[in-house]
Amino acid sequence: MLAYHFLRTDSSPGDQMSHFHDVLAKAGYFDNDHALAPAIDAVRGLAGQEPSGAEVTAVVDALTSLADGKPGVYSSLDYWRTHLSTVDARYR
């Protein structure tokens, strides 16, 4: 089982992760021993929105504190190289 959240730029990372965590918790996701770590989908959106490296870092920090574990980050290679290659090594 895998849950992922498409990171948007129209609301705060903390608000998005609070909602994402609440939905997963209500569904019992964190009680499932076979569930993978939740993933954050950080790519260029269809409307051209592009979360920054700082927004991705904030989302990872927010969900880590709520879910007591690091989420995965899904991204294209181009997006990773452009926005995330300089992100602190603790997020890789």
Express each pLDDT in 28-61 by its tens digit. 999 998 999 999 998 877 677 888 888 998 999 9
Give the pLDDT score at 88.
61
pLDDT value of residue 91: 56
68-78 confidence digits (pLDDT tens): 888 988 888 88
Q: Nearest 5 degrees, angle CA 31-CA 6-CA 81?
A: 115
Domain range summary for the chain, segments of one domain joined by +: 4-91
CA-CA distance, 79 to 83, in Å (whole number)?
A: 6
